[in-house]
Structure 1
Amino acid sequence: MASDTTRSAPTGGAADTTPSAKPHRTPSAPSAAADAVLAFANTHADAGGRQERFADAEGLARWLTDNGLPDAAADVSEADAAAVRELRDALVTVLLGHSADPRTSEQALTRAEHLLRRAAARYPLAAVLDRYGARLVPGHDGLPGVLAGILASAAELALTGAWQRLKACRNPPCHFAFYDRSRNTSGAYCTTTCSSQVAMRNYRNRHRAGAATPGNAGDAAPEATPRQ
């Protein structure tokens, strides 16, 4: 339901190595960590006109600059853009798993999780301990630090019990990542529009399947008239 989900998009300004978050949150709103992950996930193209932000090095550099990370945008390459796309797509696949998307197979989830584990090794984090607690911070600067910061945000969400609330819309043309604020974490679509589109698509598919099934009422031959 639209009232129970929050769609997030990249916002200007950033602290350290993650896209910045909006201030003045309510308890039911997504955290800064959630906003960072959602801003990264929602960079793919969709049927609604959203453009791929990581199509090439120029696009990646622009996204980094737009999110207040100009230092990380320096000297990014086409290989960097491809690696970032791969990481982003794996993350979206896991978020589709959170939505129990029927089109996302167990094999796809396993591949995505394997890639995320490899990314965690490639973009390491360091634990910082002080009198106030502990936190994970990127072990490198630049683009590796940005990607490590995304992983740190995901780890924070997992530790606080909010990771399962990050989902990707089950509507195939959309797959927009959102924060599920429903009480029982039952949200599966980013808006009621997507939910309605899927319901109508399923209805039409059932109707066509029923019409094509031999022997149903619509296909039944007329009864023969008994001979006198």
Structure 2
Amino acid sequence: MTTAAAGSPAPNPRTLTPTAETVLAFVNTRADGSGRRELFADGDSFAAWLSERQEYGGETVVTDADAAVARELRDALVTVLLAHSGDEDGQGEQLLHAERHLRRAGPLYPLATVVTADGAELASPQTGVPRVFGTVLAAVTTLAQSSDWGRIKACRNPPCHFGFLDRTRNGGGLYCSTGCGSQVSMRKHRRRQRNGGAAPSEA
């Protein structure tokens, strides 16, 4: 979550920075119906996930209520990332609801500025679970101030919605993988076939 010092070369937009990794690791904890399980299902699973990620300050006591808060924050971020990929689920009322939730979260997990000779970073001054959410919001804030933010997207293939860094040259990537893109194309093809082959009374 460190900003570049003056005169430093700009990061390659196709490189996954530590801040982007923090955000993507958090949003990619959802079950998706294709084998990925819910990592924030309850306090135990949330704690197990945290134990593998050192940036959150080590072992933390976590409750089922904390896991529910984590799911709400994560799902709001996924909606914002869907907006980056132009998905309908990231537009309209759903996006407004997600943005309202994130605005409410901000004051609950305030951030501190840490300045060094190498640059400056945002960090959570809190401990325990609040530190976890503050660390995520610090990473989001740092990304939002950079050119990388619009390239952090959620896959448009439902129910995948996997977060990814769009590494395409023009920033027009919509899917986390060629497999997801192929699934969407196949569904559209089958829909066209059904509509084209329907009898007039069925149109």
Work out whether residues 72 and 146 of structure 1, in 8 Å CA contact, stay in contact via their aligned partners in 2.
no
More off after superposition, 177-186 vs 131-140: 131-140
Higher share of residues assigned helix: 2
**Quick check: 1:35 aligned with 2:21?**
yes
Query: In structure 1, what is the Cα distance between the partners aligned to 2:47 and 2:85?
Result: 30
Q: 1:72-111, aligned counterparts within 5 Å?
A: 73-111=59-97
Q: Aligned to 1:167, what secondary structure does the other structure show?
A: strand
1:128 aligned partner? 114
Match of 1:177 among 159, 163, 175: 163
Aligned with 2:150: secondary structure? helix
Deviations 1:141-189 (A, max 9, x none): 1111121111111111111211111000000021110000112110000
Q: How far apart, CA to CA, are the structure 1 residues paired with 2:89 and 2:132?
A: 30
Quickly say closer, same or farther: Cα 1:214–1:47, change in 2 above 3 A: same
1:88–1:121 CA distance, 2 compared to 1 (3 A): same
Cα displacement string for residues 2-45 of structure 1 (whole angstroms, at most 9, x for unaligned residues): xxxxxxxxxxxxx9xxxxxxxxxx83311000000000010000
Q: How far did 1:103 drift?
A: 3.9
Any residues of structure 2 matched to 1:1-228 within 5 Å, and which? 27=12, 28-68=14-54, 73-212=59-198, 214=200
1:94-146 CA distance string (max 9 Å, x none): 10110101343311011101111111111110122344433211121111112
* Distance in 2 between residues matched to 1:72 and 1:56, nearest whole Å: 18
Matched length:
193
- 1:134 & 1:69 partners in 2: Cα distance? 17
Deviations 1:67-113 (A, max 9, x none): 13686543211110100000000001110110101343311011101
SS of residue in 1 equivalent to 2:200: coil
C-alpha contact (below 8 Å) 1:95/1:177 kept by paired residues? yes
Percent identity over the alignment?
A: 48
Aligned pair in 2 of structure 1 residues 161, 71: CA closer, same or farther (>3 Å)? closer
Task: Note the C-alpha offset of 1:215.
Answer: 7.5
* 3-state SS, counterpart of residue 54 of structure 2: coil
- Structure showing greater Rg: 1
TM-score w.r.t. structure 1 length? Answer: 0.78
Query: Can you give the 5+ residue segments of structure 1 that lack an aligned partner in the other structure?
Result: 1-14, 16-25, 220-228
Divergent runs of 4+, >4 A: 69-73
Q: Distance in 1 between matches of 2:139 and 2:95?
A: 20
**Mean alpha-carbon deviation: is it higher for 82-91 or for 154-163?**
154-163
